[in-house]
Chain A
Amino acid sequence: MFIIIAGAGKLGILLAKKLKEDKHRVSIVDKSEIVCNKLAEELKGVLIIQGDATNPEVLKSAKVEKADVLVSTTSSDADNIIICNIAKEAFSIKRTVSRVNDPKHLLLYKHMGVDVPIDSTTILARIVEEEASFSDVMNLLSVKKGRLSIVRVDIPPNAPVVNKMLKDISLPANSVLISILRGPEIIVPSGITKILSGDEIIAATIIDNEKQLIRSLIGKL
């Protein structure tokens, strides 16, 4: 694949290196001459363009019209949105991915048609919350605009499902247990898998049935 990266901050550079290692074609655009000169020594085989990526001419010199994906990683949300929009409108790039700097600006990305806005602050907050919390239930991931959610449920000793086989447990519709983490073991469950106290269950469920699923696993919310 050919990927254009706008913004050579920490994220942009790391991404360029990884993509290069995976044998992708990469070009990277940054405003700063100092940054670009330094990059030229560090990153061999990457097309480096110095300029403002919100300027269509600059994107053009980065060969944007040949790119499969554009990734915008600048520290300005307005710039990221405009870069993705120019790539789409003027150069028909199919997939645009962007870092979201301020979670409060996420809605703008969605309304402006950025394909994949990545709100790193919220993602990080969720990980930190998970690592720091003692709660039985943790929402790991939401997909399809939040309609499907993947949750982790820790099974306490008094849960109604303890020592029961999966086939004897009734789960709500559109819910499935993906795997059971038991100490170092990862179990892909079948009907005769028994749930034990202390198991961590990873489950996928339609968002409307999430509470019901949790109730049927641990007996409360």
Chain B
Amino acid sequence: MKYIVIIGCGKTGRELAREFSHQHNVVVIDKSKYALDSLGEDFNGKKVLGDALDLKVLEDAGIKEVDILVLATGNDNVNIVISKVAKKLYKNIKKIALQVYDTSKKKIFSEEGLIIVNKTYILVEVFKKCLL
């Protein structure tokens, strides 16, 4: 069982949180109560209402004990900033994955230890597999 923190409870964050929470210890952070509520009554993880750019909020959510961190806020810049700082400060985190929409930013901010998930790249791969 792993300890997973997911930041951003939009479509992606929500689905990941539900999926992971069956087998793992999940904490979801979002600044909107409405977004957190969308996880549903039966969600069996922890919900934290707060601003993830505030390190105190991350630490209160237990970031110092986390195994996996997922950034899915829908804002590239927020995802990049939090993932970089988390990688630098919290050596306990074994894997950090972040969503980045802008392909030019993916190039600039790629570094070892950050798993950057880019929709366009994935779609291109899928299309290639289907077509060729």
Interface residues of A (CB under 8 A from B): 54-57, 76-79, 81-82, 85-86, 89-90, 102, 104-105, 107-108, 111-112
Known: A78-B80, A82-B81, A102-B53. 15 other contacts (CB 8 A): A54-B76, A54-B105, A76-B77, A78-B81, A81-B77, A82-B105, A89-B109, A102-B51, A104-B51, A107-B55, A108-B53, A108-B55, A108-B81, A111-B85, A112-B85
Q: Judging by beta carbons under 8 Å apart, are B81 and A104 in contact?
A: no
Which applies to chain B's interface (DSSP): helix, strand, loop or mixed? helix
29 residue pairs from A and B, CB less than 8 Å apart: A54-B76, A54-B77, A56-B108, A57-B104, A76-B77, A78-B75, A78-B77, A78-B78, A81-B77, A81-B81, A82-B76, A82-B77, A82-B81, A82-B105, A85-B109, A86-B108, A89-B109, A102-B51, A104-B51, A104-B56, A105-B54, A108-B53, A108-B81, A108-B82, A108-B85, A111-B84, A111-B88, A112-B81, A112-B84
Q: Helix, strand, loop or mixed for chain A's interface?
A: helix
Specify which of B55, B77, B78 lies most central, judged by the most chain A CB atoms within 10 Å of its CB.
B77
Residues of B at the A interface (CB closer than 8 Å) are: 51, 53-56, 75-78, 80-82, 84-85, 88-89, 102, 104-105, 108-109
Bound CA span A85–B109, Å: 9
Q: How many Cβ-Cβ contacts under 8 Å join chain A to chain B?
A: 53
A107 to B82, CA, bound (A): 11
| Contact yes or no, B77 A79, CB < 8 A | yes
* Residues of A contacting B102 in the complex (Cβ-Cβ under 8 angstroms): 55
- CB-CB under 8 A from A57, the residues of chain B are 104
